[in-house]
Structure 1
Amino acid sequence: MGLYKLFSCNVEVQYRGCLLSKAMLFTIITTLLNIILPFIVAYRSRGFWLRYHSYYEQPMVHSTYNYLLVAETDDPSIIVTCGDAQSLKKDAVDGEEYCAEIQIQEYDYDRDSKNDRLDFKFHINIPPERRITSIILILEMDYQLRATCPLHMQTLTIVNKEFALPSSGFQYYGDIILYQTAHLPCQRNVINTEYNSSIFNYVDENNNENAVDFIMRHFLQREVTTELKTTFSRTSFGHTGSFTISIYLRIPKTKVIYVPSLLQELKWAWPQYLSLALIFYWLFERVKRFVFNNRLFMAWEVLPWKKAD
């Protein structure tokens, strides 16, 4: 009749020594190395700490109805400037009689209270015997993030186009993308409103600087802005006496880069440390077994079936 293994257990052999002994010093050193070496290896191999993290979110974007449209003609003295920002200085809006019509539409296709597309249409009359050579369109947007890193800011989208031939219209299709030169600071239940102010409000009436240059210079000083990713654009040529600008902007999910919290960094770091610590633990256990079994250091061996004196 055969015998089967039903249960097994290890026999523990203890090695004891004095506090002030070489064996105790060896044990302390190997224990410290088992704790420190995994951290050094994980840190030196890079990727141990999360310096930044990212996620995707569809922002809430609305038009503030503030805009600045500058249309230059082949006569440098005739410039058509349209603007609906109340803070723009009066002399910055010139040739406003040529601004005929503006339409702004917002579309929420999936009804999640987040706009999926913004449409802008501008219609201007061309001065007699002139043609449009370039346009600069600055649109102000209300931009919000609400998921991981709450953010509320006033931002700009800018369209710039030059025309070599007489034109009657311009169509632009693009996406509104978040652009960062610094990582967002994430704080729980705290909304970042550092840039929640209109750049149009800072146009100085006593400053002789061009309004477009002033707005662009201050806008680019921000660490968090938006930019347009062009999908398609088309120009309509011909002499019609008017010029139509159609802007179609999609609002897709955008990548947000932020500074992770300490707890998030620990969740990322401890699996790396623990996996290396187990390897070093196995290695040092083999070293200690070899040292004490071969009596390289003085220690008392205590067997479970022998009573200690």
Structure 2
Amino acid sequence: MASYEVYSHPALIRYKTSVCTKATLFLVVVLCLTYIPPLLVAYRSQGFWIKRSTYEEQPVVRFQYQTLLVAATSTQGEYVAWSTFPQLNNMLGANLRIPAVTVREEDQNQDGKLDLLVFQLQLPLKPNEQVYSIQLLLTFSYQLFESVIDGSSPFASAYDLENIIRTYQDRNLTTVLSCPMPLWTIGRAAAAPFELKAEIRYPVEVIRYPLDKYIQMVGHVCFHIDILLIFLWVFERIQTFVFQNQVLTTVPVPVGKPHMS
């Protein structure tokens, strides 16, 4: 007579051994390899309780075509100046000297964002004038940037370099011209203008921001659980293979049946 299966269920088997055996040592090693590596991976990849983090971003920078130039000349206490602000130029009187200015911005790496400004200025001088020092202020804009100079102001204090720099440094967002390499060349002819050439590069900015501890804790827990599940799955398969195939000697005891010694 043919037979057929009417019902089935999985059998639970326990594998027993004494304390001082290779099977016990194997179990201890498996437990350590299951839980300790995920903890180390989570720590090495993200760290614990980082107060601040950083990321890099290429800023969207635009030259605002706002310039303020003050040049000290050879005469004691004398200077010549020029700016792109009509109100200031009207106040300069005989000290106003209008230069020839050329500006070029470039996108050298073709990423759609400008990363270099080439600024050239030729300041006309009288034959007996020499420039001993120069102050040049150029304004740039980041995205959502507000200009620090009020070009419509009729007051001289609005264009004072000390006030401009102090106001700028009080802002939450500031930029710094780093690694300047000035080179002053002498030997200008008497009728030749004073020439100024500058190259300003817009580098990738490092943005620092604080991290919320609660968000960090949730992120670390989720990340640790994801790794832990992988290790649990792998070592569960290893234990099943080792004990079912009696790679290490143990006593298999089916659950529900008495063990006969």
Normalised by the length of structure 1, the TM-score is: 0.52
Specify which of 200, 205, 211 is matched with residue 249 of structure 1.
200
Q: For residues 163 and 146 of structure 2, what CA distance do their matches in structure 1 show?
A: 15
Unpaired stretches in structure 2, ≥5 consecutive residues:
1-9, 16-41, 230-254
Letter in structure 2 aligned against 1:107: E
Distance 1:61 1:71, change over 3 A: same
| Distance 1:225-1:94 versus aligned 2 partners, 3 A rule | farther
The answer (yes or no) to whether the contact 1:125–1:243 under 8 Å persists in 2 is yes
Q: Please, which moves more after superposition, 261-270 or 111-120?
A: 261-270
Change (3 A) 1:237 1:204: same
Q: Kindly indicate whether structure 1 or structure 2 has the higher relative contact order, using CA contacts under 8 Å at least 6 residues apart.
A: 2
Please give the residue correspondences for 1:185-196 in structure 2 after superposition, counting only pairs within 5 Å: 193=144, 196=145
1:137 and 2:136 are equivalent in the alignment: yes
Higher CA-based Rg:
2
Please list the CA deviations of residues 237-264 of structure 1 after superposition, one character each: whole Å capped at 9, or x if unmatched. 1242421000111222221112346786
Report the alpha carbon displacement of residue 216 of structure 1 after superposing the two structures with TM.
0.9
Give the 3-state SS of the residue equivalent to 1:200 in structure 2. Answer: coil
Structure 1: runs of 5 or more not aligned: 1-6, 13-41, 144-151, 153-192, 279-303
**Do 1:101 and 1:122's aligned partners in 2 also have CA atoms closer than 8 Å?**
yes
Match of 2:177 in 1: 228
2:115 is matched with: 116
- Of 156, 160, 168, the match for 1:219: 168
Determine the structure 1 residue equivalent to 2:60: 60
SS in 2 for 1:72: strand
TM-score by length of 2: 0.60
**CA-CA distance at 1:62 after TM superposition:** 1.4
* Count, aligned residues: 197
Q: Residues 272, 107 of structure 1: CA spacing in aligned structure 2 closer, same or farther, 3 A cutoff?
A: closer
The DSSP-based 3-state class of the residue aligned with 1:213 is: helix
Moved more, 199-208 or 133-142: 199-208
- Tell me the CA shift for residue 80 of structure 1: 1.2
After superposing the two structures, state which structure 1 stretch, 259-268 or 61-70, moved more: 259-268
Instruction: Give the counterpart of 1:258 among 182, 187, 209.
Output: 209
Cα offset, 1:73, TM superposition? 1.4
Structure 1 counterpart of 2:19: none
TM alignment of 1:1-309, pairs within 5 A: 11=14, 48-86=48-86, 88=88, 90-91=90-91, 95-96=95-96, 98-143=97-142, 152=143, 193=144, 196-201=145-150, 205-206=154-155, 211-230=160-179, 232-241=181-190, 242-260=193-211, 265-266=216-217, 268-270=219-221, 305=256
Q: Which has the higher helix share?
A: 2
Q: Percent identity?
A: 23
